[in-house]
Each structure stands twice: as C-alpha cells, then as structure tokens.
A and B are shown apart, each in its own frame.
Chain A
C-alpha cells in the first residue's frame, strides 16, 4: 500500500493525466476553428511540462547539484519555448 502512495506513483498519475488531456486537446479541442495553433502550443507545453516532471522526479535532478539542475532546466526552457513559439506562429 505504501508503494501506491509514494511520490513516483503520484508523479506517474499526473503524467498519464497530462497525456490524456493533451490528446483530448489535439483531437477534440473546444478552441474553435481558429484554435488549432493554440491547441498545438498547449500540447507541446504539456509535453515539456511532462519532460520537466520526468527529469525532476524520475531522473532525480531535483536532488542533484545546482549546476545540473540549471542545465536541465535550461534545456526545458530553451527548447520548450522555441517549439511552442514555432508551433503557434
């Protein structure tokens, strides 16, 4: 029972929920006919948020040295921002 209440399981539930939400947004989003770019941006933003969670919790970057955390966060911010900007422009 303790394993089911552990942080990895909680993180995993969030990751699965975020995946299903991003698929729903991409396939049946309620953003209207002009909302495709917004849906694309949201799907990518969710993907990079998931990547952040995987890195911080599963790869244990959260507990590592500041330099590693900064480099990892820089990857998320740089490529997340660039891809969302390109997908929505």
Chain B
C-alpha cells in the first residue's frame, strides 16, 4: 500500500536511480508519507484562510480595526527571518547531498537560530497585543489571529526540533544515503512552515491594513 502511494506521488524511477550519487538532481524529495501530511496540513490551513475571509465579509469593520492594531513591521521581520531560514535549509540540503557535513551542520545551526528568533519575535508580538487588551476571545479577528499564528508557531517549534535532529544525524552518520529520508523530510517540513507563513502574513497583516 505504501509502495502504491509512493508510486503514485513519485516518479517511477527504480531504487537504483535514487542512490546517493544520483541525488544531486533528485526526482523527488523525501517520502510519500511526509507529502501526504504536508498537503493535508496545507489544505487545513487553506480552509482556515477561506473561513477568515468569509467572516471578514460579515464584519469588515472589526477585521479592519484588528489588522490596524497588529504591528506589521514585526510580521515583516518574521517573514524575512523565515525566508532566510528556508534559504539556509535549501543550501544545507545541497551541502548534505555533496557530503559536506561541517557546512551542513553550520547551516542547520543557523536555521535553528532563525526558528528561535521567529519564536522570540512572535512572543514579543503576543505580549504587545495582550498588553493592549487583546485575546483570542476579544473578537473574531483576534480569534483567527491567535489560533492561526499559534498553530503555525507550534509548526515552527516542531520544525526547529527536526532541524536539530537532522544536524545531529549529519554528524554521527556521515554520507547522504543513510540520512536521506530524514533530511529531506525535515527540509520539506521546514519549507512548508515558510510557505504557510507567507500566506498568513499577507492575510492577517496586509489584506485589511487600509
């Protein structure tokens, strides 16, 4: 069954073509299971995005007021931080495929620092909003704000953990072959976190700013 799903999602390359020396230009990253999870997760977020906009139609004033209260420069800062982290992960994947463990580990350490910075900025933002009297129960805009960003922050924390495990494995199991599955899974997961934030930032911070 798993092989059937993999065959459906994946190219029909025989395993021999997915050996380490062939992976400089891979036919498909990671395994089918992570893609089923990622696409499912993206779809759940997508439904949230549509629900947000539908509710905004019913109470435009509350959503415009709510968006104006957000500190969009902090949202922009976190967007840049996640974009930097995605570049670092893309470069780490490349270095890992080339068998350059020290470089891979440095890039992944920098990625985890980006994850920590994102969390710190988000904590500062939550603190500002709570000080202003906002909460998940304040109004529908802030319910969406805290739920969407809170769930996303959990994804960032999980992604940071995966990156740190990847970094650890890169040290103890040199060579792309033994680490391929985990490294590509962590990479795809981290980029999904970035992808979702890109849309969340536009939706919460920019759409109803004016």
Contacts and interface: CB of A to CB of B under 8 A. Distances in A.
B91 A8 contact: yes
What is the size category of the interface that chain B forms with chain A?
35 or more
Contacts of A9: 87
A1 interface: no
B76 A23 contact: yes
Interface residues of A, number: 45
A51 B94 contact: no
Contact of A23 (B12, B42, B206): B206
Interface string A1-43: 0010010110010011001001101110100000010011001
Nearest to B50: A82
Q: DSSP majority for the B interface?
A: helix
B43 A75 contact: yes
A48 B86 CA distance: 16
B175 interface: no
Contacts of B56: 86
Name the 8 nearest CB pairs between A and B, nearest first: A47-B202, A26-B206, A86-B53, A79-B46, A64-B28, A8-B90, A12-B87, A60-B29
Interface of B: 8-12, 25-29, 35, 39, 42-43, 46, 49-50, 53-54, 56-57, 72, 76, 79-80, 83-84, 86-87, 89-91, 94, 187-188, 191-192, 194-195, 198-199, 201-203, 205-210
5 contacts: A23-B72, A60-B188, A68-B9, A75-B43, A83-B199
Interface of A: 3, 6, 8-9, 12, 15-16, 19, 22-23, 25-27, 29, 36, 39-40, 43-44, 46-48, 50-51, 54-55, 57-60, 63-65, 67-68, 71-72, 75, 78-79, 82-83, 86-87, 89
